[in-house]
Amino acid sequence: MFNRTAYGLIALTMSLTACTVVTPDAGQQAVLIDQPYFLGHGGVRPQAVPTGRSITWGSTSAIYVDMTPQTVHVAFNDYSSADNILLDFDTAIQYRVSDPVKLIRDFGGQWFKNNVASQYSAIVREAVKTKTMTDMMSNVSAAADLDRQVTAQIRRLIRDNGIPIQVLDVTLGRAVPNANVLEQMNETAAQQQRLRTLDAAKLAEDARKAEQESKAAADDAYRQKMGMSVEGYLQLQIAQIQADACRAAKQCVIAPPGSTVIVGGKL
């Protein structure tokens, strides 16, 4: 049976022979965290491992930190505009880490969730209240101004908290009315389109009526000028219609009123 000394020797051997292979990809650095088995000091090492391969002894873990620009997407729903319209946003924060060791040591791997997310939500909520829905959806300069306003406040938050990242840009994206508001807007648009269609139809009917009345007045003026009765003028119009039809058909027979026409040898 092993005694305490034997167990201690086995544990010591394991601590001396254990190793951790660290291989940061291009654009990454690895932050090492020592977790000694028995003796020594644990915690974050003061130097990060740059891109490449490194072997470290003892019980050590690694957190890989991207040093290239990164983007965090955060969605917000039902934020009220200046005109009390509920809007949804799909926002993006672009940033770059400046000191990976300090970031992990002082703020941990969940630094955004624990130190930025709730304040960011409040900043966006208050900023959205300063603009109307139309401004945020249709006015490019107003939307850009809103992005600049939020970006400045996020940079101030990061600086005041000492978080070692550089905020490159914040974009709120296009404001989208929430589902209920959008349904109401679509119904309103449909009603407006129906009214425009009815107005256009009425205008067309009025135009046709005016045209017909104008033609009738011109015809009556011509009849009176020629000294014709209404019946005589109508017969003239009928004759003109028949003549036009014959010219179009290139062959026809015009029978005087009251005549009987025989077609195909049958009466």
Do residues 168 and 76 share a domain?
yes
pTM beyond 0.75: no
C-alpha Rg value of the chain to the nearest Å: 43
Do residues 29 and 119 share a domain?
no
Answer yes or no: is 171 within a domain.
yes
pLDDT in 10s for each residue of the chain, 267 residues: 445 554 444 444 444 445 677 788 889 999 988 876 555 566 888 888 887 766 665 577 888 999 999 999 999 999 999 998 899 999 999 999 999 999 999 999 999 999 999 999 999 999 999 999 889 888 999 999 999 999 999 999 999 999 999 999 999 998 888 767 666 666 665 566 666 776 777 777 778 878 787 877 877 787 787 777 877 777 777 777 777 777 776 666 665 655 555 555 454
Answer yes or no: is 253 within a domain.
no
Answer yes or no: is 229 within a domain.
yes
Of 12, 31, 66, the residue that ends a domain is 66
Do residues 130 and 176 share a domain?
yes
Do residues 39 and 81 share a domain?
no
Of 42, 66, 90, the residue that ends a domain is 66
For residue 62, what pLDDT is reported?
87
| Residues 167 and 148: beta-carbon distance below 8 Å | no
For residue 7, what pLDDT is reported?
44
Do residues 147 and 104 share a domain?
yes
Do residues 60 and 74 share a domain?
no
Answer yes or no: is 240 within a domain.
yes
Of 45, 66, 87, the residue that ends a domain is 66
Do residues 86 and 144 share a domain?
yes
- Return all residues near 142 (Cβ < 8 A) that are at least 6 apart: 131, 135, 136
- Return all residues near 176 (Cβ < 8 A) that are at least 6 apart: 87, 88, 89, 182
Beta strands in the chain (DSSP E): 19-22, 28-34, 43-44, 54-57, 60-66, 70-80, 86-97, 165-171, 176-177
**Which residue range forms the structural domain that includes residue 77?**
70-181
Do residues 240 and 137 share a domain?
no
Answer yes or no: is 126 within a domain.
yes
For residue 10, what pLDDT is reported?
43
How far is 82 from 1, CA to CA, in rounded Å? 78
Do residues 119 and 74 share a domain?
yes
Do residues 51 and 97 share a domain?
no
Answer yes or no: is 188 within a domain.
no
CA atoms lying within 13 Å on the CB side of residue 35: 6
Answer yes or no: is 74 within a domain.
yes
Q: Indicate the number of domains in the chain.
A: 3
Answer yes or no: is 149 within a domain.
yes
